[in-house]
A and B are shown apart, each in its own frame.
Chain A
Amino acid sequence: MSSHHETPGAPAPRAHLTTDDVAKVAKLALLELSDDELETFTGQLDAVLDLAEQLDEFDIGDIPPTAHPFGLVNVFRDDVAAVGHDAEVMREEALAAAPEVEAHQFKVPPALGEAP
């Protein structure tokens, strides 16, 4: 899938991670960071990314990525709707775990915008 990601290839030498980078990533991952956390995490993540530079020592040429170490393909199940589990029971168990429920549905604050 690599070919579909913008600007392929590593920025070499790798530009060091900035607090802006980390803030952007935290937003994508729905994590809130205090300014102190932002500083600390930025340093720590940058240190891990340094590890990644070791990877440049290896020539990966046209070597494909690994999908499954055993090379499995075509694993399917038959199109049978579960009869073993009772829908009502499953619903009650599922809803019992929910933080908030109304009318047998999972209740959440208003969504901002439609789904992609």
Chain B
Amino acid sequence: MTTARPVPTDSVLDIAAAVRAGERSAVDVLEQHLARIAERDDEIHAFNTVTDEAARQQAAAVDASVAAGETVGPLAGVPVALKDNLSTRGVTTTCSSRILENWVPPYDATVVERLAAAGAVFVGKTNLDEFAMGSSTENSAFGPTRNPLDTGRVPGGSSGGSAAAVTAGFAAASLGSDTGGSIRQPAALCGLVGMKPTYGGVSRYGLVAFASSLDQIGPFTRTVAESAAVYDVIAGPDPRDSTSIPKQHVPVSATLGDGIDGLRVGVVTELSGRGNDAFEPGVVEAAFAAAEALSDAGAKVEDVSIPTAVAGLSAYYMIAPAEASSNLARYDGVRYGLRKPGPNTAAMMAASRTAGFGDEVKRRIMLGTYALSAGYYDAFYGKAQRIRTLMIREFDRVYENFDVLLSPTSPCVAFEFGAKADPVTMYYNDVCTIPSNLTGQPAISVPFGTGAHGLPVGVQLMAPMLGEPVMYRVAAALEGLAP
């Protein structure tokens, strides 16, 4: 079946308002969503684990607080799905990998604590490309997730389960993680709003690391306002994350409606896809239509060239695997996770890792190990980290003249399973999203029209460090201008 739009359900804001006002019970809201999960998740496979029992208790607790006249949080009773690489105390956290298939963490991620404190109700843990390495969710050890808009196609990745869960109406919002586009690209392919915050804007404590210097956690929602509401809850400094920016969070919800009159929008030549046959025409047209719409709405729109942007993909595939090769060393069968027998420790570790990791994870571990090894460090990892500095400088210079930058989010709409079996072809999906991870700057994908097969297209807005407030203003405007 094909519908270009996510299943319409109540929004995060409506649910929270009604529950806080005591007009609706969090339990009823939850049961609606659990019913949709029961009805359709066998087909979609958005979830690795559905935590219905714990969710019912959470929802009942919210209702009790409301009844008792206690103050409840801004997300009271909102059903939220969590990517299965976010640590949840007492609930298996698998990263869709055999090696963590049965791992039950003894602690909660900071974002999980903050959502719970805000009254959110966790419906389950969502499927992903193993350890978030992929762009289609085909790399999950537990089988792929299907795109609810066309079950013959992928939802994108790596946060495909979190995207599908919201699109299918299994949750009002979800969290994903974005290392090279893993929130924005699936959001685009599933017709959602997906946001990658400023690096250090949201705590990574409890996010199972893929590439520490690039990973960020962010929300999936149907609309920009819902995205802002969830982001305002999870953002802000965390003493448990040394890389978290020690600045008070400036709520973005308050300024969403401030309009874009006079704002300067740059269309990045190197990422626009124009004249690049690796991009689907429908995607490129949508992006330029979006730029034009913003211009008509009062923004100053210009083309801008950022030469290093094209180096993003190469730099990323040196840096991310290098960090991953070290981050994933701890999966050795000693303290937790899968163990396969061996005559000595090293043999046991090798047997466990060999059986526990899938091919894409092995590819990246080996690539990263090679990039860091003596004799190649300077040619690969070292050089990539310097290119990264170059990129940051170039983007910073551009942001002296622009408030936000615009490009397509993904070169293509949702594709069919197996369509991109060759790794490098698959990697190219992230060509537009990777630069923001390398610079640490925020970016958001907003649905704007449709492309091939009537499937949704996402347009990406990028902003300078901590530029979320203006980025969200433009996103809200763009959403209103969408066909």
Which of A's residues lie within 8 Å of B, judged by CB? 1-2, 5-11, 14, 17, 21-22, 25-26, 28-32, 41, 44-45, 47-49, 51-55, 57-58, 60, 63-66, 68-70, 72, 75, 77, 90, 93-94, 96-100, 106, 108-112
Contact = CB atoms under 8 A, between A and B. Distances in A.
B389 A66 contact: yes
Contacts, number: 193
A47 B130 CA distance: 21
Given A28-B369, A29-B369, A63-B390, A98 B336 contact: yes
B382 A65 contact: yes
B423 interface: yes
A30 B349 contact: yes
Contacts of A93: 106
B289 interface: no
Given A5-B375, A68-B243, A55 B370 contact: no
Given A97-B336, A108-B348, 15 more contacts: A2-B378, A7-B375, A9-B378, A11-B379, A21-B370, A25-B369, A30-B349, A44-B424, A45-B366, A48-B367, A51-B314, A53-B314, A63-B386, A94-B106, A98-B336
B-side binding surface: helix, strand, loop or mixed?
helix
B308 A58 contact: yes
A30 B351 CA distance: 8
Given A2-B377, A22-B366, A29-B369, A60 B335 contact: no
B384 A55 contact: yes
Interface of B: 103-104, 106, 198-200, 213, 239, 242-243, 245-246, 308, 310-311, 313-315, 317-318, 325, 329, 332-339, 341-351, 353-354, 357, 362-363, 365-367, 369-370, 373-375, 377-380, 382-390, 392, 423-424, 427, 439-441, 465
Contact of A110 (B239, B344, B423): B344
Please provide the 4 A-B residue pairs with the shortest distance between their CB atoms, ordered closest to farther. Answer: A69-B440, A10-B379, A65-B385, A99-B339
22 contacts: A8-B379, A9-B378, A9-B379, A10-B379, A10-B380, A26-B366, A29-B329, A31-B354, A31-B357, A32-B351, A51-B424, A55-B314, A55-B318, A58-B311, A63-B389, A65-B382, A65-B388, A70-B440, A99-B333, A108-B334, A108-B345, A110-B345
